[in-house]
Amino acid sequence: MKKEKILLVDDEPDIIDLISYNLEKEGYHIKSASNGRDAIDIAKSFMPDLILLDVMMPEMDGIETCVEIRNMEGINSPLIAFLTARGEDYSQIAGFDAGADDYISKPIKPRVLLSRIQALLRRRAGTESSTSVETVGSVTIDKEKYLVVLDGEEMNLPKKEFELLALLMSKPGRVFTREIILNSIWGNDVVVGDRTIDVHIRKLREKIGTKIIKTVKGVGYKFEAK
Amino acid sequence: MKKEKILLVDDEPDIIDLISYNLEKEGYHIKSASNGRDAIDIAKSFMPDLILLDVMMPEMDGIETCVEIRNMEGINSPLIAFLTARGEDYSQIAGFDAGADDYISKPIKPRVLLSRIQALLRRRAGTESSTSVETVGSVTIDKEKYLVVLDGEEMNLPKKEFELLALLMSKPGRVFTREIILNSIWGNDVVVGDRTIDVHIRKLREKIGTKIIKTVKGVGYKFEAK
DNA sequence: AGTGAATATTAAAAGTATGTTACATGATTG
DNA sequence: CAATCATGTAACATACTTTTAATATTCACT
């Protein structure tokens, strides 16, 4: 059985030893770092599935490190869980905002830690990364070139239409609700009318054919794979 | 925006008030119970998305309650998070074993609680999509694609019919009472006449065959597993 | 078998989401 | 500074979905 890679970041050697020991016993592949900088370096080549990050560290604290890792493009967005001493409640909020997936409070109890880690990794089932060129049926899009190829014919779409098409094509067949479309393309806070989506859908259909994008009334739109 | 339903279980009225106030302010739909028994009763009809469960309670403690809810077939396995006083580390393990999804330590800080709840619900949304395809007998439904496949033939159902079918199929053979159907699909406060369900059932039968959904008079409907 | 309550069956009425078109606003370009 | 284009809005049209309401049928019991 292939076990996951975990990067452990804490400035206290005792903690590192304790956790390493327990997780290695379970078959996980462990590397460790004693500060945020090292952690980032190691993460780049180690490509961990999960990073356990102490909040309180010299040099660069956990939250800073977390933000930086989340902003790093070259990395496969690992799960990040914070290790935090009790009473540091503020850090929980900041941590989730920084992009953490969980936080675990010290003192660490090995069995608790293990349960949490397993739960986290289990959840991480359908999270795959994407490439910039994608083909579904007779439609190909190249996100890098902002190009759409339909039956061999290249065409350029306006930004919003392109993004909408790219979104729908990212999961062919899957229905995207209006809410999700708005959040993905316009952003959470931007407010645009409801008809706006319809109009863009209409223009898309005008250009790539009327049958490819299907309406699911009361739910949303989907790209018909076929 | 449709907000989730949360059931709050704690024997201290102060805690109930504090949490209710804060969560309702965020738009969640809250109900509460002061002990495990009541919680189970309420859960049956309320169909919460998440249950916040105090560990220490008279009559029936949180862990017992949790186990019972997990074993209850009629219910759509809600998320369960424990509320626990500091120092009760043993309960963390027992809690996870009992089927908890998270535990949150007291004293409750509203913003922390909110972050956790949001994280939990967000995760569940992601998890559900990986379990979105379900097959029972000759019928397959794909919630992500809003698609029903009957003997190899694809079909699209209107939203309510689809949800109704999905609900019945979620526990094949189990009878869903009208009350539970209403709470699950229409929500707790929406009031629709009793015949409405019948009409939807009829339309479903029209489309997927008359034998698959069975009436249990005086009780409800069930999806015939075969 | 007869009875009453629960469910089925209709068709029509309400209710909504979406499609469509034309137009307003800015930004961009030549 | 026109001309073009991308984007968003408004108003109305359309196509369904959902619900109701009225009537029929079924089913479990005396």
Is A218 in Cβ contact with B159 (below 8 Å)?
yes
Q: What is the pLDDT of residues A9-39, one digit of tens each?
A: 998 888 899 889 988 888 888 889 888 878 8
SS (H, E, C) chain A: CCCCEEEEECCCHHHHHHHHHHHHHCCCEEEEECCHHHHHHHHHHHCCCEEEEECCCCCCCHHHHHHHHHHCCCCCCCEEEEEECCCCHHHHHHHHHHCCCEEEECCCCHHHHHHHHHHHHHHCCCCCCCCCEEEECCEEEECCCCEEEECCEEECCCHHHHHHHHHHHHCCCCEEEHHHHHHHHHCCCCCCCCHHHHHHHHHHHHHHCCCCEEEECCCEEEECCC
Is A219 in Cβ contact with B159 (below 8 Å)?
yes
How confident is the model at residue B130, as a pLDDT? 42
Local confidence band at A129 (pLDDT 50, 70, 90 cut-offs): very low
How confident is the model at residue A68, as a pLDDT? 78
State the maximum Cα–Cα separation within chain A, in Å, rounded to a whole number: 64
Chain A, nearest residue to B133 by Cα: A174
Quick count: other Cβ atoms within 10 Å of Cβ A50? 22
Chain A, nearest residue to B157 by Cα: A216
* Coil/strand/helix, residue B21: helix
Distance B71 CA to D29 C1' (A): 35
Chain B, nearest residue to A168 by Cα: B145
Which residues of chain B neighbour A115 with C-beta distances below 8 Å?
92-93, 96
How confident is the model at residue A128, as a pLDDT? 40
| Cα separation, B22 vs B114, whole angstroms | 8
Tokens (6 digits) for A83: 């290790």
How confident is the model at residue B129, as a pLDDT? 39
Could you tell me which of B125, B136, B132 has the C-alpha nearest to residue B224? B136
What's the pTM?
0.62
| A186 CB contact with strand D at below 7 Å | yes
Q: Does any CB of chain B come closer than 8 Å to the CB of residue A184?
A: no
- Strand D positions with any atom < 7 Å from protein CB? 5-12, 16-22, 27-28
Local confidence band at A87 (pLDDT 50, 70, 90 cut-offs): low
Distance A186 CA to C19 C1' (A): 22
How confident is the model at residue B223, as a pLDDT? 93
In tens digits, what is the pLDDT along chain B, a chain of 226 residues?
457 889 999 998 998 999 999 998 888 889 999 988 899 888 877 888 899 988 877 777 778 888 888 776 555 678 888 887 765 555 555 666 667 777 787 777 777 788 778 767 766 654 443 457 778 888 889 888 899 988 878 899 999 999 999 999 988 888 999 999 998 999 877 788 889 999 999 999 999 988 899 999 989 999 987 6
